Structure 1
Amino acid sequence: MMNETRERGLEFFSDVLGKDAGDMMRQAVEQDGFSSTLGQIAVDFAFGSVWTRPGLERKHRSLVVIAILIATRQTAELKNHFRIGLANGLTRTELEEAVIQSIPYLGLPACTQASSALIEVLRERGIDTQSKTTEERGLV
């Protein structure tokens, strides 16, 4: 039987990444083993305890996480959080501006990686099919 925090975390996860992703995460945390333990920690702590706290709207929490992930160059996780940001109500323009706002503080290399990640997510969502990543433009 799952505790209330885990249920909140799984509900949040399904809400922002979709029912299929939520079902996959539920199955993952119900299993035994190392990867299951990591999933349990993520669901219980990050999603069930921190993301569901009062005090900040979800879209504002998304902006904070996105900025942290740009700074730490966690591109794969950044893509997930661009998806979560869209689900939490952030617009394409707000996501683009978050990347641009980061340039003076984090530098172009980190923000170029972030812009490529954002373009890929916008493309997969059908929001932007025209923009090209830095790699696609042959700039790196």
Structure 2
Amino acid sequence: MADTSLFDRGMATRRAVLGDGHVDKAAAKTTELDDAFQTFITEGAWGSVWSRPGLSKRERSIVTLALLAGLGHEEEFAMHVRATVNTGATEDDIKELLLHVAVYAGVPAANSAYKIAKHELAKREETAP
């Protein structure tokens, strides 16, 4: 059973960070199999953690990118690179956080993440007005 206020706060934060298009696509793909999971991440990740006042969205974005890169979660890393347009994390932030990934999680993890970040940032430049 969803906590309505936590879910609503999480959904608002999720939309602010990832964008309505991404969230709408994820919602449209939700099935009975992953419905409880979608509620869990909306309440837990977005409603409880991303919505906390202790860090800015930019700071949370930087932490999230570093963790995803270090753990090798490439699809999620790409999604969060795209989300930096909404969080305020900059290309310089990505450059710096990936140096930390190289030192603390390993050069191969950082190397893969640099490739993804370059690709995602280039796509953004291509579509910029």
- Cα deviation digits, residues 22-62 of structure 1 (max 9, x gap): 33344456xx5122221111111101111001111111111
Q: Deviations over 1:52-74 (max 9, x none)?
A: 01111111111111111111111
RMSD: 2.0
CA distance in 2, matches of 1:67, 1:35: 26
Instruction: Answer whether contact 2:81 2:120 (CA < 8 A) is retained.
Output: yes
Q: TM-score, normalised by structure 2?
A: 0.85
Q: 1:2 to 1:55 in 2, by over 3 A?
A: closer
Q: Normalising by structure 1, report the TM-score.
A: 0.79
Higher-Rg member (1/2): 1
Task: Give the count of matched residue pairs.
Answer: 125
User: Matched residues, percent identical?
Assistant: 26
| Structure-1 residue corresponding to 2:8 | 7
Q: Does the residue aligned with 1:55 lie in a helix, a strand or coil?
A: coil
Q: Cα gap change, 1:70/1:110 in structure 2, threshold over 3 Å: closer, same or farther?
A: same
Matches of 1:55 and 1:72, distance apart in 2 = 24
Which has the larger share of helix? Answer: 2
Give the structure, 1 or 2, with the largest relative contact order (CA under 8 Å, sep 6 or more): 2
Partner of 1:132: none
Bigger CA drift: 79-88 or 58-67?
79-88
Cα separation, 2, equivalents of 1:25 and 1:113:
25
| Segments of 4+ moved more than 4 angstroms | 26-29
Gaps of 5+ in 2: none
Matched residue, 2:23: 22
CA distance in 1, matches of 2:40, 2:7: 9
